[in-house]
Structure 1
Amino acid sequence: MEKKMFIWVCIVAISFASCTSQVEDSPQEQVLLVQKIVKDASFLKLRDIQQKKDDLVADGKVDFTKFNAEFVSREMKNCKSMDEAVEIYKKGGMPNAREYLELNTKYIQSLVEMKKNFPEMKNLSEVNRRELIEGSFTSNSQIQEKIMRRNNISDKQIQDYKNHKKLQ
């Protein structure tokens, strides 16, 4: 009985400890941190890799329209090498799978490096952290415009599209 009680006390204590709120820096401290991070080489590398990934999609070299994510997810559980992963992604319907996976691996490594260089990133609000990592990259509208240009859509049609998006 004592052992059961001890286990319950431990579970409750751990539950309460994990429910504490994250300490965030003040808005001014967050701004200073973001300004410091965006000048760092690891962040610039991360942004460059993301741009290359966006370009692969925008240039039509990577296409997710026929990509079978369920198949890939199921098969990746047993994957032990990059070569196996490339084959799985190819079978899943992704052209240029190797280039995409290599960029994705570099992206994750750069993100880990950046978080190692700036452990105080955890003190940023979730919104600021997301905007820092995602918001500094090419916007969806820029990617869509590049796709339109690749498909020889006229400047007038692109401008009409942009104006329509602004009204929404």
Structure 2
Amino acid sequence: MFKSVLKTLGFRGHSSVLLSPLAGKVIPLSDVHDPMFSSGSLGEGVAIEPTGGKVVAPSDSKVKAIFPSGHAVALHTNEGLDVLVHIGLDTEKLEGRHFTVHAAVGDSVKRGDVLIEFDRDAIKREGYDLTAPILICNSAEYSYIKGEVGDTVGELEKLLTARE
């Protein structure tokens, strides 16, 4: 209630900037060829067509989950964002091939720490789409999430802004 009164009066909530965990071209989440991601049902965000082969911590964070196949990581950033980085579509079917995980559940990681390395060429050769959705899973806590769609970003460059 109090937050809505403040918003009505023009006061804005806290903003958080998420830096990019991957290098590549930023595309709208709605363009991802998987309805689980493109519908926003797992959270709002963007996707990246990666040009590199690693995922780095976008912020000082706690690792909440690493999928057994190494294709995805969930983080809780010190800024309060619950972030899911999912490398490719249906890549869990690779059962860990072409992925090297450098973090574990419960780890506290620093911005820039390498979390996962992946072999882009080998994954493509096996016929998988490398599009990497980057989701804010607690997006319901934010009134505004906007990504740098259309831009090419490097690791740790501004990817999106979330405002309470």
Per residue, is there more strand in 1 or in 2? 2
For the pair shown, which has the larger CA radius of gyration, 1 or 2? 1
TM-score range, shorter chain: under 0.3
